[in-house]
């Protein structure tokens, strides 16, 4: 078994532990993706049918990387080349379950997925119908409460029974939730949470569906298990066959999503949930220098709610960690931009540099500094699929599949402009065709004719060809071609959409188009890193967005008390402190060779200048591992050494 060559003993133990429940505590840089893919490959080599193997992770990027690694191995040996295991995100798995079995609970096979904007728009309409000012009860707040309730196992009715009389806001949430569910049903739509909660409901209420899934997947693998919530834990548990062949990989020290209802208890209590489970710890770090590994150990060992492990590495000591103070945030930004420029001139690839920050507002000062210093950068956060022109095309695509979708109809009929104003649109939505004027009827008939032609084409067209057809027939292409320079860029974006759709050309007609639409709705920030336009610049992103990534050089900015660690997270002070430290640990362990820790004495927040102390996290690192920059003497009095 030459594919086991190069694995250390603990990694090999994990790969060969194929039967029963297994938990792997994998430290940062310990090669967990390599272990996961090698274990799946080993199962296939031992005769397990590939399509009876499931692997679940949290981002499209991680799932794609696992598929590509495995496909490369399998394609090299034609005997194992087909089919492939099912590798997907949790939401992708939920989509698969609902598309295959959802009709049992009234879910259409081809449903659309509301993104956050769609959900907030419907909720806003619900608030207006109740005569509630969206400024008094923000749609985002309502959506957050609904999401929290769903992930706690509540539906609209049970939430109303449990919380409907607690407060004015709770009553409004309960009332709006009912309207929200009605609107989704009318639009044949689900939201992100439905993709997890509904499969759980389906399996709990329908034993035949549960058995079918247990028979389909003999071996289940879960990546980043520390980030699962209660409902996701239930989803996996319900899918397990009696043999309980479940392999979970996680790291409690990188659990940073409790604010999304993730619970580290799923990993902490794994051996209690599955008493026969084997536990394996991967402590060897292959990513970072010894200096960075030792610094990370000194940070995270201060947390109490964890499973003891200590990362080790054979890598060289490397450079000491640079700590750089500045008087103002603007000066901090300029220092980082200039250091990046210096590193790039010395041969460092810009795209292998990351500047991390705790909260999104910090990006403005950093962007201004990079622009001023002429250093190329890309800001992770503006998703390709959130751009207006892209959402316009996607609305047309969804509407072509199902002309009954009112939200998409409202958007599509308004762009490109076709002389159908708000009054006419109101008549359309109200379903009063008898009120149309002759001129209105002609315009609406032309619009409906385009939709009918596109609907017919969707039955047989390849997804990429269909997207190109939509761009042309809708009139969007013509409108943008006549526009200015900005419109030319937008035209390039929607053409890129057709290129992305080629990934789904292996699926027939509407099935491929539906898969394309679902993945577009579920795309994450990290998917932006793989886009051609995002190659060649320094990466600016939050620490949360950087989780799972690695870079040769990392700057962690804004290390000020109250900012990082951040104030006001959650309800438990102890949990806040430990989660913030885990987040700092994640930031530090993204670095392979160089690590810079920066802070400012004065930072303007919401128009007010705040004087800050250096982050307490800086004192957690052994001073022997760090090196203060040349400005240290100016700040010596306020830095504890």
Secondary structure of 530-590 in the HEC alphabet?
A: HCHHHCCCEEEEEHHHHCCCCEEEEEECCCECEECCECCCCCCHHHHHHHHHHHHHHHHCC
Q: What is the DSSP string of 350-417?
A: GGGEEEEESSGGGHHHHHHHHHHHT--EEETTS-GGGSHHHHHHHHHHHHHH-TT-HHHHHHHHHSS-
106, 111, 112, 115: CA torsion to nearest 10:
50
Inter-residue contact 119 to 85 (CB < 8 Å):
no
- Nearest to 123, CA basis, from 156, 146, 154: 146
Asked if 224 is an active-site residue, the reply is yes
Helices 438-458, 463-473: inter-axial angle, 10-degree rounding: 170
Helices 194-205, 207-216: inter-axial angle, 10-degree rounding: 110
Asked if 191 is an active-site residue, the reply is no
Helices 9-16, 32-45: inter-axial angle, 10-degree rounding: 40
Choose, from 10, 11, 32, 526, the residue flagged as catalytic.
32
List the structure tokens of 431.
């379903």
Inter-residue contact 379 to 541 (CB < 8 Å):
yes
Report the half-sphere exposure of 87 (CA within 13 A, side-chain side).
23
List the structure tokens of 167.
């407060």
Bridge partners, residue 603, by sequence: 610
Which residue reads 């980043």 in tokens? 224
Inter-residue contact 640 to 619 (CB < 8 Å):
yes
List the structure tokens of 412.
């599509």
- Nearest to 258, CA basis, from 233, 230, 284: 230
Which residue reads 């099935």 in tokens? 511
Choose, from 12, 13, 18, 33, the residue flagged as catalytic.
33
Choose, from 38, 254, 362, 589, the residue flagged as catalytic.
254
Q: How big is the CA angle at 606 (ends 604 and 610), to the nearest 5 degrees?
A: 35
Asked if 223 is an active-site residue, the reply is yes
Give the Cα separation of 155 and 29 in Å (integer): 40
Asked if 118 is an active-site residue, the reply is no
Asked if 99 is an active-site residue, the reply is no
Inter-residue contact 384 to 528 (CB < 8 Å):
yes
CA end-to-end span of the chain: 52
Which residue reads 């967990």 in tokens? 32
Neighbours of 563 (CB within 10 A): 23
ω into residue 565 within 30 of 0, thus cis?
Answer: yes
φ, ψ (nearest 5 deg) of residue 503 = -60, -20
Asked if 590 is an active-site residue, the reply is yes
Give the Cα separation of 216 and 52 in Å (integer): 6
Q: Considering Cα of 469, then 475, then 476, then 481, what sign does the dihedral take?
A: positive
List the structure tokens of 494.
């929607």
Helices 485-501, 509-522: inter-axial angle, 10-degree rounding: 120
Choose, from 409, 590, 594, 601, the residue flagged as catalytic.
590
Question: Can you say whether residue 180 is alpha, beta or left, with left for phi > 0 and alpha for psi between -120 and 50 degrees?
Answer: alpha
For 562, residues 6+ apart whose C-beta sits below 8 A from its C-beta are 610, 612
Choose, from 187, 193, 194, 224, the residue flagged as catalytic.
224
What positions carry a catalytic annotation?
Answer: 32-33, 223-224, 254, 590
């Amino acid at each position: 078994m030459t594919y086991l060559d190069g694995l250390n003993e603990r990694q090999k133990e994990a790969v060969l532990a194929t039967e029963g429940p297994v938990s792997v505590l994998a430290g940062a840089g310990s090669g967990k993706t390599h272990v996961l893919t090698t274990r799946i490959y080993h199962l296939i080599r031992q005769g397990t049918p590939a399509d009876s193997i499931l692997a679940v992770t949290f981002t499209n990027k991680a799932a794609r990387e696992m598929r590509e690694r495995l496909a490369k191995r399998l394609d090299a040996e034609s005997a194992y080349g087909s089919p492939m295991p099912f590798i997907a995100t949790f939401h992708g798995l939920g989509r698969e379950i609902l598309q295959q079995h959802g009709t049992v609970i009234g879910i259409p096979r081809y449903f659309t997925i509301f993104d956050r904007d769609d959900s907030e728009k419907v909720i806003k309409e619900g608030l207006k119908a109740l005569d509630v000012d969206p400024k008094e009860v923000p749609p985002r707040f309502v959506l957050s409460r609904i999401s929290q309730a769903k992930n706690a196992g509540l539906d609209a009715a049970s939430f109303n029974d449990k919380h409907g009389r607690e407060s004015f806001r709770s009553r409004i949430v309960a009332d709006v939730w009912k309207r929200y569910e009605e609107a989704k049903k009318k639009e044949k739509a689900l939201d992100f949470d439905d993709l997890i909660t509904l499969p759980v409901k389906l399996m709990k209420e329908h034993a035949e569906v549960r058995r079918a899934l247990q028979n389909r997947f003999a071996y289940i693998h879960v990546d980043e298990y520390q980030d699962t919530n209660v409902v996701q834990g239930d989803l996996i548990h319900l899918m397990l066959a009696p043999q309980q062949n479940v392999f979970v990989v996680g790291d409690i020290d990188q659990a940073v999503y409790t604010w999304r209802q993730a619970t580290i208890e799923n990993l902490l209590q794994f051996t209690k949930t599955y008493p026969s489970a084997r536990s394996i710890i991967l402590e060897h770090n292959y990513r970072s220098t010894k200096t960075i590994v030792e610094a990370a150990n000194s940070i995270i060992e201060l947390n109490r709610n964890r499973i003891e492990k200590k990362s080790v590495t054979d890598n060289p000591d490397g450079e000491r960690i640079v700590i750089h103070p500045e008087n103002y945030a603007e000066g901090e930004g300029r220092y980082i931009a200039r250091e990046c420029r210096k590193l790039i001139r010395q041969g460092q690839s810009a795209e292998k540099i990351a500047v991390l920050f705790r909260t999104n507002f910090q990006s403005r000062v950093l962007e201004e500094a990079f622009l001023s210093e002429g250093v190329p950068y890309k800001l992770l956060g503006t998703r390709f699929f959130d751009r207006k022109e892209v959402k316009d095309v996607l609305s047309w695509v969804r509407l072509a599949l199902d002309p009954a979708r009112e939200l998409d109809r409202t958007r599509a009929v308004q762009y490109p402009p076709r002389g159908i104003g708000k009054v006419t649109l109101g008549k359309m939505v109200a379903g009063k065709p008898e009120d149309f004027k002759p001129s209105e009827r002609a315009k609406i008939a032309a619009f409906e004719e385009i939709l009918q032609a596109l609907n017919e084409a969707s039955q047989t067209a390849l997804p990429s060809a269909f997207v190109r057809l939509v761009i042309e027939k809708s009139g969007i292409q013509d409108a943008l071609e006549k526009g200015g320079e900005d419109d030319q860029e937008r035209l390039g974006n929607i053409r890129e959409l057709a290129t992305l759709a080629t990934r789904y050309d292996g699926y027939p007609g509407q099935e491929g188009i539906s898969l394309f639409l679902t993945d577009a709705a579920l795309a994450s920030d990290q998917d932006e890193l793989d886009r051609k336009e995002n190659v060649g610049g320094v990466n600016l992103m939050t620490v949360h967005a950087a989780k799972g990534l690695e870079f040769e050089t990392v700057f962690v900015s804004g290390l000020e008390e109250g900012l990082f660690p951040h104030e006001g997270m959650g309800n438990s002070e102890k949990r806040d402190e430990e989660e913030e430290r885990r987040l700092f640990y994640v930031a530090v362990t993204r670095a392979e060779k160089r690590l810079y820790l920066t802070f400012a004495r004065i930072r303007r927040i919401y128009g007010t200048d705040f004087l800050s102390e250096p982050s307490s996290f800086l004192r957690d690192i052994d001073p022997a591992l760090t090196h203060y920059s040349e400005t240290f003497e100016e700040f010596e009095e306020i830095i504890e050494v």
